[in-house]
Amino acid sequence: MQEVRVFAPATVANVAVGFDILGFAIQRPGDEIVARRSTAFAGVRITAITGTGTKSLPTEVEHNTAGMAVLRLLEHLGLQHEVGIELEIHKKMPFGSGLGSSAASAAGATVAVNVLLGEPLTRESLLYFTVLGEEVADGSFHADNVAPCLVGGITLIRSNESLDIHHLPVPPSLHVAVVHPEIEILTRDARAVLSDSVSLKTAIRQLGSLASFITALYTNDLPLLSRSLQDHIIEPQRKTLITGFDAVQAAALERGALGCSISGAGPSMFALCDSGYLAQAVGQAMQAAFQQEGVDSQLYVSPINQRGVEVLSTTE
């Protein structure tokens, strides 16, 4: 195979109840990644990065999440001195938005290259290399965006160290509105605002919320899901970074969302809803509330994406 083009979806990490351990994929936006064989060199080269705000993204393989993920994959396969791979990264989602942009590029790249090489590894086996790639972006080894991007659905991570990942069931009517406001939050600022400790009482409340959320997914109990979708730990600390947060959340809940919180490290916000119609209406209400604060935004409405990275085309 000479060339593979894939789509890698945006993801919502944390999901209010599961900081660093839960995530799900949405239908769009997402990145497109092209992997192409080259006989001119061995190893990995990044030949193009396109999209808004991508001037700051490094084309040096060692500093690029997609580049590093593919390099680690080739090393594992013992092919780094035998195979030459060109990568094109077409960013089609906002950068630094809390939608797993760097994870998408890394996941898309490993899937594309795996297909290019005749699929020596399963989709699940690509996770390790993809997480190693994403580590370049923020220096921490965690899979809450990468896992759902790669395999789709709602994923639970028991332990990031051992990549003990599990698929959770998706209630069939579940849809999500994701609103990306034009506010900039750096991931390191989003981390810095968090206290190192949490009161025991708050931790217990969060444990109750998380356990009930998982139970709600397994029993398709959307009223319970709604009662459970509460972030007692992170949201109260991070919401101050998002202009209009309280008004936007209130607008979502008033319009009928099951719950509404911050996507990943923000500033994007997500609302879970029990139909696509409702998700559209909720999303527009959220946009209107941001607009009231003078903040422009983009809205993405979709069911939970159950497929993860998708192969768009291959060239023999």
Query: Hey, which residues are catalytic here?
Result: 134, 187
Residue 17 has phi, psi (to 5 degrees) of: -90, -15
Tokens matching residue 43: 């190893």
Out of 178, 214, 279, 289, point to the residue binding a second copy (CB under 8 A): 214
* Radius of gyration, alpha carbons of the chain: 19
Residue 20, CA distances (Å) to 3, 14, 159, 178, 191 in order: 34, 6, 9, 19, 12
Closest to a second copy by CB, 159 or 315 = 159
Residue with tokens 């590894």: 121
- Residues 13-42, one symbol each (x = binds a second copy by CB under 8 A, - = not), give -----xxxxx--------------------
State which amino acid sits at residue 11. T
CA 48 to chain centre: 22
Closest to a second copy by CB, 176 or 214 = 214
Closest to a second copy by CB, 14 or 101 = 14
Site for a second copy in 192-211 (CB under 8 A): 194-201, 203-211
Q: Is 248 helix (H, G, I), strand (E, B) or coil?
A: helix
Least distance (Å) from a second copy to the CB of residue 278?
Answer: 23
Least distance (Å) from a second copy to the CB of residue 209?
Answer: 7
Residue 194, CA distances (Å) to 186, 240, 249 in order: 13, 11, 20
Least distance (Å) from a second copy to the CB of residue 144?
Answer: 10
Least distance (Å) from a second copy to the CB of residue 81?
Answer: 38
CA distance 184 to 202: 29
Closest to a second copy by CB, 146 or 210 = 210
- Residues 156-175, one symbol each (x = binds a second copy by CB under 8 A, - = not), give xxxx----x-x-x-------
Stretch that binds a second copy, among 118-126, 130-138, 150-158, 308-316 (CB under 8 A): 150-158
Site for a second copy in 222-241 (CB under 8 A): 224, 227-228, 233
- DSSP strand pairing (84-90 vs 43-50): parallel
Residues that bind a second copy (rule: CB under 8 A) add up to a total of 37
Least distance (Å) from a second copy to the CB of residue 27?
Answer: 25
Tokens matching residue 103: 């994870």
Contacts of 136 (CB under 8 A, 6+ apart): 62, 63, 64, 65, 68
Dmax over Cα atoms in the chain, in whole Å? 61
Closest to a second copy by CB, 155 or 302 = 155
| Chain contacts with a second copy (rule: CB under 8 A) | 18-22, 156-159, 164, 166, 168, 194-201, 203-212, 214-215, 218, 224, 227-228, 233
